[in-house]
Chains A and B, each alone.
Chain A
Amino acid sequence: MKLRISAIFTFILFWYIVVFLKLVELPYPHKVLFVFTNLLFHPEPVLGKSLVEHATASVLRVLTASSIAFAVAIPMGVAMGWFEKFNVFTSTIVEILRPIPPLAWIPLAYILFSKLSNPVQTAQLFIVFIGAFFPCLISVVDAAKNTPAELIEMAKAFNADNKKILSSIVLPYSLQGIITGIRIGLGVGWMSIIAAEMLATSGAGLGYFIMVMYEVGGRIAEIISGMVLIGIIGYSMNWLLLKVEKMVMPWR
């Protein structure tokens, strides 16, 4: 804990020095802190929304899209880990799609969904979906595949059918992989939404906020405030899920 606090202080000190020496054109930390705390709840004049409102919009998008991604990736991953043939069949396609960064999907997504009533929203959800889906899937497949053969044999010795083996052995064994997958998936999804928001008018969202602050004339303190909040939220989601992990797996 002491080390962590001194790390933060060192960083801020470094920031002051860099600005003081005019090495880069940055506002001082306390200036950013002032803007940040001010904008947290008070609407910023250009867009008329506070940081919290922007953050809420981004978080909701990520949660919606990631939930859909996880709802597909978890059962699919368990099935892929369990049925070798299904794994070979799907992993071929997965392995080709997986290295494509979520951001590379942005132009295609905007075109694909252009005919819908809310193309921007849909495309952004789609991009987060892509970002969250693959890391989660890979993590779940890996865990499910490693289910010890001994435990499966034990279940068979008690005459368990495939359904019981899947629900009582493979799924709980994969729980660690599922939670890790959700954690990493949310992380990637969070980065993807910020990028996706920067590319299109979405009315609200931290990515959109940063972009607009840049376009109206390089409001550095506002931009950094947005970035800081992105960092804080990303960190908190990760932290929260690590706690959840301990809670749902008391046997570890």
Chain B
Amino acid sequence: MALEVIDVSKSFNNLKVLDNITFKVKDNSFTCIIGESGCGKTTLLRIVSGLEKADSGEILFNGKKLEINDVGFVFQDDRLLPWRTTLKNVAFGLEVRNDKRALEKAKDVLRFVGLEEFENYYPKQLSGGMRQLVGIARALAINPKILLMDEPFASLDAQTRNRMQAELLDIWNEEKKTVLFVTHNIDEAVYLADKIIVLSKRPARVVEEIKVDLERPRDRTSLEFVDVRKRVLELLNK
């Protein structure tokens, strides 16, 4: 039971972005993909989700082609619909699936992420952190098997970002999903991941996979934590 990315390559015109990317992700695990800005992380997630076609290679989920319906996507920018309230935004994916209980389920998810008080707010009225949380709730609402997260906290200030990371781990603990989380922030990767996949500069290749066996909640200042950080940093600079 796993998500497999096999030999995925992709070029845009003459720009090679992904070069034979191969890795495996265990069910219900939290995997971070780290790589510097512009190396092809978003492209990789778009290919995994099926939004973009790879030039070669394939994505398998439990041995079969991964369906877009199994995927919940959280974007780098929140991509909430400005004309919809929090509740209606969260219900979007359920609506697409013609779920008759869309609003009820959306309400449940909002309660779950602790935003039930804000269900009638428009995105403009929410803080950046809350907007990202709504984006996460929208992805969770369709109960996806795999959660793809593209630097969801990149635009937040350090404090909010740390809080959101902790909150995300809480959510993940309760909802056990397979998470593929893209970031270019080393601290974030080490704090969140069971496994960190380090990508090279463009064209992105997998440089190394690092298992992070630290207990949660992790202490960002502990020696072990700093050790892993060092390791990732070295690999990124290679």
The interface residues of chain B lying within 8 Å CB-to-CB of A164 are: 95-96
Q: Is the CB of A158 within 8 A of B92?
A: yes
A150-B75, A157-B73 known; 15 new pairs, CB 8 Å cut-off, are A154-B73, A154-B79, A157-B49, A158-B92, A158-B96, A159-B68, A159-B93, A161-B96, A164-B95, A168-B81, A168-B92, A175-B83, A250-B122, A251-B82, A251-B83
Knowing A157-B71, A168-B92, say if A150 contacts B77 (CB, 8 Å): yes
Q: Is the CB of B51 within 8 A of A153?
A: yes
Whether B16 is near chain A, meaning CB under 8 Å from some CB there, is no
Q: Is the CB of B69 within 8 A of A156?
A: no
A252 to B10, CA, bound (A): 39
Q: Is the CB of A151 within 8 A of B79?
A: yes
Q: Nearest CB to that of B82 among chain A residues?
A: A251
Knowing A164-B96, A168-B92, A251-B122, say if A157 contacts B68 (CB, 8 Å): yes
Q: Sort chain A's interface into a size bin.
A: 20 to 34
Q: Is the CB of A249 within 8 A of B83?
A: yes
A160 to B68, CA, bound (A): 10
Interface of chain A residues 134 through 193 with chain B (CB within 8 A) = 150-151, 153-161, 164, 168-169, 172-173, 175
Q: Determine how close the nearest CB of chain A comes to the CB of B173; give it in whole angstroms.
A: 25
The interface residues of chain B lying within 8 Å CB-to-CB of A159 are: 68-69, 93, 96-97
10 interchain pairs, CB-CB under 8 A: A151-B81, A153-B79, A157-B49, A159-B96, A160-B96, A164-B95, A175-B83, A251-B84, A251-B124, A252-B124
Q: Determine how close the nearest CB of chain B comes to the CB of A78; give it in whole angstroms.
A: 15
A24 to B82, CA, bound (A): 55
The interface residues of chain A lying within 8 Å CB-to-CB of B71 are: 157
Q: Nearest CB to that of A249 among chain B residues?
A: B83
The interface residues of chain B lying within 8 Å CB-to-CB of A173 are: 83
The SS class assigned to the A binding surface is helix
A72 to B42, CA, bound (A): 40
Q: Is the CB of A157 within 8 A of B51?
A: yes
Q: Nearest CB to that of A164 among chain B residues?
A: B96
A175 to B84, CA, bound (A): 13
The interface residues of chain B lying within 8 Å CB-to-CB of A160 are: 96
Interface of chain B residues 87 through 105 with chain A (CB within 8 A) = 92-93, 95-97
The interface residues of chain A lying within 8 Å CB-to-CB of B138 are: 158
Size of the chain B interface, CB-CB below 8 angstroms = 23
Q: Nearest CB to that of A251 among chain B residues?
A: B122
A173 to B68, CA, bound (A): 25
Q: Is the CB of B93 within 8 A of A158?
A: yes
Q: Determine how close the nearest CB of chain B comes to the CB of A164; give it in whole angstroms.
A: 6
A147 to B119, CA, bound (A): 25
Q: Determine how close the nearest CB of chain B comes to the CB of A169; give it in whole angstroms.
A: 7
Whether B142 is near chain A, meaning CB under 8 Å from some CB there, is yes
A157 to B82, CA, bound (A): 18
The interface residues of chain A lying within 8 Å CB-to-CB of B83 are: 172-173, 175, 249, 251
Q: Is the CB of B79 within 8 A of A150?
A: yes
A160 to B142, CA, bound (A): 13
Which 3 residue pairs spanning A and B have beta carbons closest together?
A157-B73, A158-B93, A251-B122
The interface residues of chain A lying within 8 Å CB-to-CB of B95 are: 164, 168
The interface residues of chain B lying within 8 Å CB-to-CB of A158 are: 73, 92-93, 96, 138, 142
A249 to B81, CA, bound (A): 13
Q: Determine how close the nearest CB of chain B comes to the CB of A147; give it in whole angstroms.
A: 11
Q: Is the CB of A169 within 8 A of B81?
A: yes
The interface residues of chain B lying within 8 Å CB-to-CB of A154 are: 73, 75, 79
The interface residues of chain A lying within 8 Å CB-to-CB of B84 are: 251
A75 to B75, CA, bound (A): 30
Q: Determine how close the nearest CB of chain A comes to the CB of B91; give it in whole angstroms.
A: 11
Q: Mark B37-69, 1 if CB is under 8 A from A, else 0.
A: 000000000000101000000000000000011
Which among A151, A153, A175, A250 has the greatest number of chain B C-beta atoms within 10 A? Answer: A153
Q: Determine how close the nearest CB of chain A comes to the CB of B14; give it in whole angstroms.
A: 22
A150 to B73, CA, bound (A): 13
Q: Mark B104-134, 1 if CB is under 8 A from A, else 0.
A: 0000000000000000001110000000000
Q: Mark A226-252, 1 if CB is under 8 A from B, else 0.
A: 000000000000000000000001111
The interface residues of chain A lying within 8 Å CB-to-CB of B51 are: 153, 156-157
Q: Determine how close the nearest CB of chain A comes to the CB of B122; give it in whole angstroms.
A: 4
A150 to B92, CA, bound (A): 15
Q: Determine how close the nearest CB of chain B comes to the CB of A247; give it in whole angstroms.
A: 13
Q: Determine how close the nearest CB of chain B comes to the CB of A66; give it in whole angstroms.
A: 25
Q: Nearest CB to that of B148 among chain A residues?
A: A157
A251 to B89, CA, bound (A): 13
